Amino acid sequence: MLFWIILVSSLGFLWFLKKLSCFVRWLFNLLLRPAKDLTSYGSWALVTGSTDGIGRAFAFKLAASGLNLVLVSRNSAKLKTVSAEIQARSPYSKIKLFELDFSGDDVVSRVGEMKEAIDGLDIGVLINNVGVTYPRAMYFHEVEERVWMNLVRVNVEGTTHVTKAVVAGMIGRGRGAILNIGSGASIVVPSHPLYAVYAATKAYIDQLSRSLYVEYKHQGIDVQCQVPLYVSTRMASEVADVERSTVFIPRAERYVEEAVKWIGYESRCTPYWAHSLQWFFASMLPHSLLDSWRLTVAITRIQKSKQNKKN
Ligand SMILES: NC(=O)c1ccc[n+]([C@@H]2O[C@H](COP(=O)([O-])OP(=O)(O)OC[C@H]3O[C@@H](n4cnc5c(N)ncnc54)[C@H](OP(=O)(O)O)[C@@H]3O)[C@@H](O)[C@H]2O)c1
């Protein structure tokens, strides 16, 4: 009997020590670990989906950190506006614009043109931010082919093509940081019902990032998947009725303020502290409970949007 008591207490103590060391490491990373000097990776950063939300906030932050920018997005007028706004705040940053619609049929040739346009630039930081989701919660059988093909093209193919176009230069220079924006939808919760294809594309981003992290670490290239939960942007307002920021749903600028401090470290992280807390509590709950909670939330959203249409 005594043997079993000692065994169980020892295992419990080891479990406690493990959790404590995770907690201390998290606090250290959050509060004390110095951010990397992003200019040490190279003098240029390329940001996809840079005209709104998280990508736009990254563009402002990276310019303020002393980097020149290549901004890639689909809308030329919005690109020019964002560029002018950044230039007003960071007049010494050089900015190049490249109009590219990742959902287009010509994405391969357009990324090829982008590659030529950035040839010779010392691109040290790549932010693969572009991403889209369903216009609303939908069962898989209701999602039109056009919609899910769009998601796969933008979220999966776009990120893969751009990474391929940029990583070759990084290998040549022996340095670089690649940040891929994943989502809690594929990592923090065990399922994301009624947004299945979106969650699946983000699982691809996560696994791609982890493998590339291992492939390129020894060549001086740091690959990372960041896992945001809700951030107050247009996307969040469309899918989750997020109307304003809260402590758990930060503004894009607040998220990015934290996000840049994590670039170049672990292969996967969630940089915003309140998101980490949510992840921690989610990890304590049984998957079946999280599954039914996500399903209920999504079904409620469908009912609410039907009700809104009627009114
Ligand atoms: N917001 C959240 O709660 C949240 C949570 C987890 C993960 N994420 C991820 O974070 C990333 C950014 O999301 P966000 O909330 O900032 O989105 P957002 O506010 O909707 O901004 C998306 C950006 O991507 C651009 N874009 C969209 N479709 C494009 C296309 N076909 N070709 C080129 N550019 C395109 C948009 O350009 P336009 O201005 O022309 O539309 C915009 O600049 C996404 O990968 C998303 O999955 C977001």
Coil, helix or strand at residue 228 = coil
102 Cβ inside 6 Å of ligand 1: yes
The residue-averaged pLDDT of 74-78 equals 97
What residues are paired with 181 via a beta bridge? 226
223 Cβ inside 6 Å of ligand 1: no
Residue 73 has pLDDT above 90, yes or no: yes
- The catalytic residue among 198, 213, 230, 272 is 198
How much is the pLDDT for 209? Answer: 98
Does the active-site annotation cover 198?
Answer: yes
Coil, helix or strand at residue 156 = helix
Nearest atom (ligand 1) to Cα of 202: 47
The residue-averaged pLDDT of 40-59 equals 98
Residue 305 has pLDDT above 90, yes or no: no
- Measured by CA distance, the residue closest to atom 25 of ligand 1 is 49
Residue 42 near residue 175, CB atoms below 8 Å: yes
- Distance, CA of 90 to CA of 79 (rounded, Å): 16
The residue-averaged pLDDT of 205-218 equals 98
Residue 310 has pLDDT above 80, yes or no: no
The residue-averaged pLDDT of 135-154 equals 95
Please report which confidence band the pLDDT of residue 2 belongs to, taking 50, 70 and 90 as the band edges. Answer: confident
Which one-letter amino acid corresponds to residue 161? H
Q: Chain-wide mean pLDDT for the chain?
A: 95
Nearest atom (ligand 1) to Cα of 240: 3
The whole model's pTM is what?
Answer: 0.95
Q: Side by side, which strands form the sheet with 221-226?
A: 95-99, 68-73, 44-48, 123-128, 176-181, 221-226, 268-269
Q: Which helix (H) or strand (E) holds 65?
A: none
Residue 110 near residue 156, CB atoms below 8 Å: no
What's the chain's Rg over C-alpha atoms?
A: 21
235 Cβ inside 6 Å of ligand 1: yes
36-305 is classed CATH 3.40.50.720: yes
